[in-house]
Structure 1
Amino acid sequence: MVVAASTCRTETVFDYSWMNVVVAYWNRYPNPSSTHVLTEDTIQREVRDGKLFSRRLLSKTNPVPKWGARFYNNVPVKIVEDSVLDPVKKTFTTFTRNLGMTKIMKVDEIVVYSEQKDGSTLAVRRAYISSQVFGFSRAIRAFGIERFKANGNKASNGFNYVLRRMFPDSLVGGGHHQHVVTTTSPAGELPATTTTVSTTNGSLNNQGALKSAAKVGYEFFKSHASKIAQLFSVKN
């Protein structure tokens, strides 16, 4: 069976140190932008080779469009989140995937938080969205991309809310905020790219470079999506 897929890539700069972002990450729920997150539980955590490996189980819900009601009800969906914290390289990588309704819409998402030269923290989110619903795959994937972007904005706003409360006097990096979104169509289709930027300082990123990066990201997910869970999973 050939499963068509779409990808989306976002970038957000948090004006807080990498260490503050990592600390706030474990305390980001609840916040005013996270009403769709119902529960979160850490089910396993261990240190290997100087890195912290964690696995968490989250329960989330989102309203579905009217056309989506024919496929599934608006019931909570379980999300498994694996993460790797590298204190030496100062990178924090999370990989999430939905456990239910994967034939309707499967979302594999990787987020990498890394320290920037100005002391701020860059979060790069990539999502690989696929569907096996014959005749509705394109619509479902388009819905998934839009939902991913909308939730990404909410997540960033909610995260900033938590950071401001936890570290009210710790702004770094000039106090700017940048959010870039790039979407790419599946192979064989004309690429559709949407870029939105909200910033008070700095210049717009080159759209061609973002488009190229999105294509690379798609090829990466296409080749490795089935292996990502194993690479990031916690050993028993």
Structure 2
Amino acid sequence: MVVAASTCRTETVFDYSWKHVVVAYWNRYPNPSSAHVLTEDTIQREVRDGKLFSRRLLSKTNPVPKWGARFYNNVPVKIVEDSVLDPVKKTFTTFTRNLGMTKIMKVDEIVVYSEQKDGSTLAVRRAYISSQVFGFSRAIRAFGIERFKSNGNKASNGFNHVLRRMFPHSLVGGGHHQPAVTPTSSVAEVPGATTSAPNSSSNHNNIGTLKSTAKVGYEFFKCHATKIAQLFSVKN
């Protein structure tokens, strides 16, 4: 059975070197925008083939809308975060997923931090959100996408706060990039979701494009999630 899901992709440019961004990443919490992050613990870390592999367990909480209270309460949710740091290619990839309430809403997120030509650091975030709640899946996924965007802005602002505090005189890339997250693709659904019939050939083409984009995003998550899980010897 193919579970209906939604995908979203955002980009953020940090006006700090890749090295500084990676160092600051391990010191992100606490910050003024991280009140929803309750705990963080590193449970595994090792160097293999010149790459740093880490696994962390975080506890987060977020308020839910009134209609969501019927499905779950506002209780902390455990998040597992796997990451791979490649100092040669200068890429830092994180993969996070929630451990609890996965039938209600499962969120898989991949973030890739890479060095740019002007010395700044680009963070590309991709989210894959699914729900198995019959009759409410679409609403829950829409809520998840909006929460992903909102939390992305908070995370970006909080991260920039930490970067400014740790490296106050190390701006690169002109220092002109805005801290807010910039969405670069629309929300779409992968196979399994239903859509209403289009009213024109133009709408039909747009929907086809969105579905195609979403399918590519789904395959990206499926491939990378499996690879990262295998690296940590975890059955996905």
**TM exceeds 0.5?**
yes
Match of 1:227 in 2: 226
Asked if 1:186 is matched to 2:189, the reply is yes
Equivalent-residue separation in structure 2 for 1:163 and 1:44 (angstroms) = 25
How does the TM-score come out when normalised to structure 1?
A: 0.85
Match of 1:56 in 2: 56
Equivalent AA in structure 1 for residue 189 of structure 2: P
Equivalent AA in structure 1 for residue 110 of structure 2: I
Q: 1:234 to 1:220 in 2, by over 3 A?
A: same
Deviations, residues 12-47 of structure 1 (Å, cap 9, x unaligned): 000000000000000010000000000000001000
Deviations, residues 184-236 of structure 1 (Å, cap 9, x unaligned): 3113666xxxxxxxxxxxxxxxxxxx978666323423x4376255245368x
Equivalent-residue separation in structure 2 for 1:90 and 1:113 (angstroms) = 8
The residue matched to 2:122 in structure 1 has which SS?
A: strand
Match of 2:141 in 1: 141
Equivalent-residue separation in structure 2 for 1:174 and 1:93 (angstroms) = 25
Pairing of 1:116-135 with structure 2 (within 5 A): 116-135=116-135
Match of 2:47 in 1: 47
Pairing of 1:151-162 with structure 2 (within 5 A): 151-162=151-162
Computed over aligned residues only, the root mean square deviation of the Cα atoms, in angstroms, reads 2.2
Please identify, of 210-219 and 223-232, the stretch whose mean Cα deviation from structure 2 is larger. 210-219
Equivalent AA in structure 2 for residue 172 of structure 1: V
Give the number of aligned pairs: 216
Equivalent AA in structure 2 for residue 74 of structure 1: N
Pairing of 1:102-117 with structure 2 (within 5 A): 102-117=102-117
The residue matched to 1:183 in structure 2 has which SS?
A: coil
Equivalent AA in structure 2 for residue 9 of structure 1: R
Equivalent-residue separation in structure 1 for 2:92 and 2:224 (angstroms) = 19
Equivalent-residue separation in structure 2 for 1:172 and 1:80 (angstroms) = 32
Equivalent-residue separation in structure 1 for 2:54 and 2:143 (angstroms) = 30
Deviations, residues 66-113 of structure 1 (Å, cap 9, x unaligned): 000000000000000000000000000000000000000000000000
The residue matched to 1:119 in structure 2 has which SS?
A: coil
Shift of residue 64, structure 1, vs aligned partner: 0.3
Equivalent-residue separation in structure 2 for 1:60 and 1:46 (angstroms) = 25
Q: 1:13 to 1:214 in 2, by over 3 A?
A: farther
> Could you list the runs of 5+ residues in structure 1 that have no partner in the other structure?
191-209
Q: 1:56 to 1:234 in 2, by over 3 A?
A: farther
Match of 2:217 in 1: 217
How does the TM-score come out when normalised to structure 2?
A: 0.85
Q: 1:215 to 1:187 in 2, by over 3 A?
A: closer
Q: 1:138 to 1:165 in 2, by over 3 A?
A: same
Equivalent-residue separation in structure 2 for 1:217 and 1:133 (angstroms) = 22
Equivalent-residue separation in structure 2 for 1:226 and 1:115 (angstroms) = 22
Alpha carbons 1:105, 1:140 under 8 Å: kept: yes
Q: 1:44 to 1:226 in 2, by over 3 A?
A: closer
> Could you list the runs of 5+ residues in structure 2 that have no partner in the other structure?
196-208
